[in-house]
Amino acid sequence: MRDRVEKALEKVRPMLIADGGNVELIEVTSDGVVKLKLKGSCGCCPMSQMTLKMGIERILKEEVPEVKEVIAI
């Protein structure tokens, strides 16, 4: 599942990079929780939680249905 999540993140990265940020996959748990680290300007942006939940989490759930939740660490 980790490889599929990483592949789905490749679709998100160009948008994040365009805004001066990026995302790093830290862990995919056996119960479907994806742990990410937002980097660059995404790490300190006040809208980062919205980007995480409404953007990244939505896309990951579409691409990898086993994903239950995405959290930032």
- Report whether pLDDT(44) > 80: no
Q: Name the CATH topology of 2-72.
A: GMP Synthetase; Chain A, domain 3 (3.30.300)
- pLDDT of the residue at 61: 95
- Report whether pLDDT(43) > 90: no
Residue 19 in contact with residue 41, Cβ under 8 Å?
yes
pTM: predicted TM-score of the whole model, two decimal places: 0.88
- Dihedral angle sign, alpha carbons of residues 58, 28, 48, 19: negative
Which residue spans within 1-73 are E strands per DSSP? 21-28, 33-40, 69-72
- pLDDT of the residue at 46: 79
Structure confidence by residue, pLDDT tens digits, 21-33? 899 999 999 999 9
Question: Confidence class of residue 54 from pLDDT cuts 50, 70 and 90?
Answer: confident
